[in-house]
Amino acid sequence: MTQDEMTELAINTIRTLSIDAVQAAQSGHPGTPMALAPLVYTIWNRVMHFDPQHPIWPNRDRFVLSNGHASMLLWSILHLTRTQAVDADYETLGRPSVTLDDIRRFRQLDSRAPGHPEYRWVSGVETTTGPLGQGVATSVGMAIAQKWLASHYNKPEFPLFDYRIYAVAGDGCMMEGVAAEAASLAGHLGLDNLCWVWDNNRITIEGHTDITFTEDVAGRFLAYGWNVQRVSDANDVDAIERALAIFRRTSGRPTFIVLDSHIGYGSPNRQDTSAAHGEPLGEEEVRLTKRAYGWPEDAQFLVPDGVYEHFAAGIGARGAALRQEWMERFTAYGAQYPALATEIEQMLRRELPAGWDRDLPTFPADPKGVAGREASGKVLNVLAQNIPWLLGGSADLAPSNKTALTYDGAGHFQAATPGGKNLHYGIREHAMGAVVNGLALSKIRAYGSTFFVFCDYLRPALRLSALMELPTIFVFTHDAMGDGEDGPTHQPVEHLASLRAIPGLMTLRPGDANEVVEAYRTVMQLHHTPAVLALSRQALPTLDRSRYASAAGVAQGAYVLADAPGGSPELILIATGSELALAVAAHETLVADGIRSRVVSMPSWDLFDRQPPEYRHSVLPPGVKARLAIEQASTFGWERFVGEHGRVIGMTTFGASAPLKALQKRFGFEPERIVATAKELLGRA
Ligand SMILES: Cc1ncc(C[n+]2csc(CCOP(=O)(O)OP(=O)(O)O)c2C)c(N)n1
Ligand SMILES: [Mg+2]
């Protein structure tokens, strides 16, 4: 067999595995894998630096399938390259990532060939995709990460990190706003390690893109500052390879390749139709298509002789040699730069360096106090010095969010200064969310920041963070009505409730400066959990911890801050964030009036839920039914803590534009109302 025939055979194996899997599942997307098999073949077998035996080799090229519905492309290529499985501790498991059996059970329960690419579930998947646009946006974070890692760790004689990022996108990805935000940022930053290939098939679910998408996409990317190329035939592997070679030689700009393709390529009756997008071909059409490929019509899930060997000789041999060479390089690097090598090893395992929490501040009691965002800024500046690979920034609100790293040498990440630790995401919240994910997937400890109310703008990325179990950090300030005069457009109401509803996301709303410190202490130790810090704009009293319990209780999510004599309360006040000090003030009045009141500070529902029942019952004794929660946010969900006999002082409407004091009065966030409501609850009004 000639080399060309072998290439064709390998490509048709990807196509027919995809067709058969979708047919067997009676669900899925065959058309795009049929069209893009040559592209994926070329990237993987001819170009990518990737060792299938060690899919988490740190200097591997990254491959992102942003049009995640074409997942059969990934399952086929991971299978044919015999990519190995690894576990959450980054150990190789000695079994393939995706077996032929998984592919036979495409989209079935527990198969390693699920409907869409899932990071963590299938080794070799670099990021979860399916929500269109997220993959390409995340790839920008991966590209920023590579630049930063190279700048921080490479030495002239040791190019440790020189990998590239390849992302494949469909029309849907190109239409989504998040991709536009991310492409704009990538162009600005001149990320020449990044290549997007746009599957220009002009078909989406509702039909031809003539009805929706007629702009000059290539012109748009030129305007973003990308190097734009075109390959007019998706079956021309040599042309694809040439375009990728040009990408690898291009410096100072990311690369955008327009690839003209035919969805459902080879299917006599489905090619170029939207029917090829998301429906099985049907038995008869499968036969006709296989005939068109010169494939045995009745064979199913066929991997012809020589195909595995062809991939082993291509990506397998190349990847193994490159990795071997890199391992030797890393050993020599370690001998010369032992401290940096240790850093890299810790970072890759998501461990913290020794002394990571040294010099964290302790705030003295102070009735005037400190704003949550101020305390956060101080803590971040300490942590970023202790943890070299902690970096991040804001979506143009750093002066308000207090996320700027201001110590000497922190630097600003720009094209010419890729070692800077202050990222400037610009006013691109959604891309910021995806970029933070891309950084975290690259093992950098990353944070993003904006006003709390605008977390809606990046929620899809935050959801993926949780789904992927990434230890990302989102710093959201102006967490309630503290933004007073800016009015209801800037005052979050339903946001806490909606974040608390995301499985696996840890939301913390600390009540004073020392709780902010403890919140960060907790968050930094997470390995597989994203966290949101909701922080106040305005100063909050710093509680006297010699009088009240230690802020270390934050680590349990909720703790008894102030208690009734003998620890037997008849009333429990539960508060978070800026309402904590109000609850304490009300508590003092109630105690003076002879009421056995307890204050529970509850910065994090999620964390509290993870505690054993004995602890939870010690904080909220089931026998105490008079419970009052105070939170300047939607009351939604508080019933679970206050019970049917309890009450909630919260928000049931949007806020209003006025100074904070007036708003507190209007919406009833005052100690007097808390006292009165508590007395009502106890029947002592
Ligand atoms: C954010 C988002 N919106 C909608 C969908 C549903 N959806 C999946 S594929 C698709 C059409 C995508 O068209 P295109 O990217 O051109 O893919 P092709 O059919 O060409 O493979 C849509 C609307 C989705 N997955 N994500
Ligand atoms: Mg399309």
pLDDT tens by residue, 118-148:
999 999 999 999 999 999 999 999 999 999 9
Please tell me if the CB atom of residue 204 comes closer than 6 angstroms to any atom of ligand 1.
yes
Edge-to-edge strands of the sheet including 627-634?
559-562, 597-601, 571-575, 627-634, 647-651
Q: Three-state SS for 258?
A: strand
User: How high does pLDDT run on average in the chain?
Assistant: 97
Q: What is the pLDDT of residue 636?
A: 98
CB burial of 329-348 (b: ≥16 within 10 Å; e: otherwise) equals: ebeebbeebeebbebbebbe
* pLDDT over 90 at 88, yes or no: no
Which atom of ligand 1 lies closest to the CA of 68?
25
Please tell me if the CB atom of residue 130 comes closer than 6 angstroms to any atom of ligand 1.
yes
Cα 65 to ligand 1 centroid, rounded to whole Å? 12
Nearest to 567 by CA among 610, 611, 630, 624: 624
Please tell me if the CB atom of residue 272 comes closer than 6 angstroms to any atom of ligand 1.
no
Cβ–Cβ under 8 Å, residues 513 and 365: no
The stretch 66-84 carries a mean pLDDT of 98
What six digits make up the tokens of 72? 């059969």
What six digits make up the tokens of 438? 């891309």
Instruction: Convert the pLDDT of each residue in 494-543 to its tens digit.
Output: 999 999 999 999 999 999 999 999 999 999 999 999 999 999 999 999 99
What six digits make up the tokens of 473? 């950090």
Please tell me if the CB atom of residue 203 comes closer than 6 angstroms to any atom of ligand 1.
yes
Q: How many CB atoms lie within 10 A of CB 369?
A: 20
Q: Three-state SS for 210?
A: helix
Q: How many CB atoms lie within 10 A of CB 41?
A: 28
Report the alpha-carbon distance of residue 16 to residue 22 in Å, rounded. Answer: 10
How, if at all, do strands 227-231 and 165-169 pair? unpaired
CB burial of 236-249 (b: ≥16 within 10 Å; e: otherwise) equals: bbebbeebbeebee
Cβ–Cβ under 8 Å, residues 669 and 649: yes
Q: What is the pLDDT of residue 685?
A: 77
Q: Which amino acid is at 68?
A: G
Catalytic residue flag (residue 429):
yes
pTM: 0.98
From 69, 72, 134, 261, the mutation candidate for ligand 1 (largest count of ligand atoms within 8 A of CB) is: 69
Q: What is the pLDDT of residue 244?
A: 98
pLDDT band at 633 (very low <50, low <70, confident <90, very high): very high
